[in-house]
Structure 1
Amino acid sequence: MKDEKKTKFENNSHSIPEFMGNKSLLLFTECDSCNNFFNKNYESHLAFYLGFERSALGISGKNGVPEFKHVSDKLFIRNEKNEIVIGIDPESDYVKIDPIRKIVSFSLPKNPFVPYSVYKSFVKIAFSFLPFDKCANLKSTQVFLKSKLKTIEGREVNSTLLKYTIKNHFKKMFIRIYENQIKEKTNRPKYIAILGYNDKVFQFHIPNKELDDIDQPFIMNCIQIFDEAYDIEEINFNSTNLKRDEVENFTFKYEDLDSSKMETDFFKSLLKKKNVD
């Protein structure tokens, strides 16, 4: 705990980043210094990791729906008067259009991000929702989040997440935290978090040494709480190097297509989003 008389609490700290659509859930125990550290080192990378989906699905952040522009300059996505505007270099392999079924399928490269920073951002979100007394008991997690280390007590933290897709989108983002009721330390996490965002679910643990046996191989099974979950992936976010080759596949239906408008070297398509598969 920091001395509140010496530490500033002037900025709004969000338990879930504002760019994910959170406007109201604030943290009053996170000082400005920590907030700046998390924004710079973790959440900026999470924003890049989720960048395309935020723009394509119209998720409003601090400054409205963000424009997505890939570093290759071959793709942009922006919101104009509640319509999704997508510009794509016609020579790229990013998109396939099925005019019969009125389906657009994307295979899009993400902007560069650091995987381990994305993982820590997820952990920080979940840690923010633990009851205060439980947070206070997890000193090792606090130290882990406030540093750039990949270890707790000299043991490397397993940064594996489970990611899967559900058929129907969540109308609102949500997070659930499950607590292992076994009293003794085991290699199964004490706390497992599930974060639902759009049509994606991320499952991960809250690493600590106080309640978990960090000396044993890590085991985390998928918590089956959704009947229509598919594309279950086990993703390791262990790398601290900038990742430049991540690709996201995305499909949605459109009502109207206008390919007659050109903008520089882009094939400009006005897609009125109907629904996402």
Structure 2
Amino acid sequence: MAASTVMLATPSGEREKLPIYPQPATSLELIDEPLPLEKEIGVARRAATQTVRDIQAQAQGVVSKWIGVEKAVEHRVKALAAPNESMTPALLFVGIATLTGSILTRNRMLLTRLVIPPAFLIGSMNYFLPQTSANISAYCASIEEAHFPTLAEKHAIANAHTAMTWYRLKDATQSGREKMGDGVLAAVEATQSLTGLKLKEALGWSKARAAEVKEQARVIAEDAEAKVRETTTAAETKVEEKTEEVKSDRLV
């Protein structure tokens, strides 16, 4: 009896074991991955939005500054305008005077056309709005002293010299009038002594009146001299202060 060999073939890998319990259903999750073009569009959109916001912020800053300037100008105008002076007719008169100066010099030389209208403007302002003109002059002087000290010093010296010249002219004019009156009085007295006519009584002149006129002339001359001295002293003091300030600034 022949012997037989039985060979059992087994698989090379183990079979997968099935789970005992049921498994949950598998869920599929879709991930939305943007395209490169979409990324570039998003970057551009964010940059544009930021640029618009920056422009809006700058515009708002400019508007705020302009509002601040308007308020400062309004406050300054209210501070310069004198409360006891009426602006409506006075400014109209100033405008008419300035226009008159421009009309009078429209066919003149260039220098006359440049000088006469501003002179009419300044003169009419000083006449119709004296307090407001003084406030504007003081404000311009303060700006000049703050930003241009050297020019302010020269301006103060020029003003002092101008004031001295003006008061000296007034004094000279008053002296000339007084001398003329004395000459007329001497002529009347000589005529009266020669003719015997009472010209002084006919003209209403008397010794008391002559003495009063002389006293008034003396008072006016003393007042003018005192004003000249006061103006000179103030100008010299101001010039010395400005000189010291300039020297200290240079040392610093």
Q: Structure 1 length as normaliser, TM-score?
A: 0.18
Larger Rg: 2
Task: Give the number of the structure whose residues are more often helix, by fraction.
Answer: 2
Task: Give the number of the structure whose residues are more often strand, by fraction.
Answer: 1
Say which structure, 1 or 2, has more relative contact order (CA 8 Å, 6+ apart): 1
